[in-house]
């Protein structure tokens, strides 16, 4: 069919097509949550011993089926992590670790010290200096990397490492 003879129909088709592509792209982008399985209460015991109550069980009372770093490495290989802070280390005694940056029961850093595994995959706070928005409609939206805090100008790092 020659759309030149039907300029409004041709333009309408193009507009509807672009709208559908945009909606599908947004829907796919907003559902990219690699930690989605963690929201299924039937899967808690893949990582947790006992049945923690989300939002009620204190993190210090959580027990795991394996060491938490090993649990993270089931999906996140060391090679895929890129720039990453060392884990399985005890901060020096002169460091003050903020309460929201969780150490494990042995007072060691784990992945969950800086990352919130049950957190949101997206945030309106820019997580790092170099991060570009994933979506930009009413509000800029960024991948959160499940960070417990923003790391703009190394703020997350400086929470423990003094300048």
Does any domain span residue 56? yes
Residue in this structure with the two tokens 């509000």, named with its chain if needed: 139
Does any domain span residue 21? no
Does any domain span residue 92? yes
Residue whose C-alpha is closest to residue 50's, from 64, 71, 36, 39: 64
Per-residue pLDDT, 96: 92
Domain span at residue 66 reads 32-158
Number of domains in the chain: 1
Does any domain span residue 1? no
pTM across the whole model: 0.74
pLDDT greater at residue 25 or residue 140 = 140
pLDDT digits (tens, 9 = 90+) for 88-99: 999 999 899 999
Could you tell me the two tokens for 78? 């060391």
Per-residue pLDDT, 132: 87
Tell me the β-bridge partners of 32: none
What mean pLDDT value characterizes the chain? 82
Q: How many CA atoms lie within 13 A of 45 on its CB side?
A: 4
Query: Could you count the other beta carbons within 10 Å of the beta carbon of residue 132?
Result: 9
Mean pLDDT lowest among 16-25, 54-63, 72-81, 141-150 = 16-25
* Average pLDDT estimate for 61-80: 88
Query: E-strand spans in 7-148?
Result: 48-49, 63-64, 122-123, 135-136, 140-143
Does any domain span residue 8? no
Query: Could you count the other beta carbons within 10 Å of the beta carbon of residue 72?
Result: 19
Does any domain span residue 41? yes
Does any domain span residue 47? yes
Does any domain span residue 117? yes
Tell me the β-bridge partners of 115: 147
């Amino acid at each position: 069919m020659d759309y030149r003879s039907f300029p409004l129909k041709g333009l309408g088709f193009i507009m509807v097509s672009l709208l559908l592509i945009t909606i599908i792209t947004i829907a796919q982008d907003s559902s990219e949550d690699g930690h989605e399985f963690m929201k299924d209460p039937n899967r808690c015991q893949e990582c947790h011993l006992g049945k923690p109550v989300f939002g009620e069980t204190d993190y210090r009372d959580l027990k795991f089926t394996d060491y938490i770093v090993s649990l993270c490495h089931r999906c996140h290989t060391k090679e895929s992590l890129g720039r990453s802070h060392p884990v399985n280390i005890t901060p020096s005694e002169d460091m003050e670790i903020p309460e929201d940056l969780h150490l494990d029961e042995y007072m060691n850093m784990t992945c969950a010290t800086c990352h919130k595994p049950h957190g949101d995959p997206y945030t309106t706070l820019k997580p790092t200096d170099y991060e570009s928005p994933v979506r930009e409609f009413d509000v800029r939206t960024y991948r959160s990397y499940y960070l417990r805090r923003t790391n703009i100008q190394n703020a997350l790092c400086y929470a423990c490492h003094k300048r």
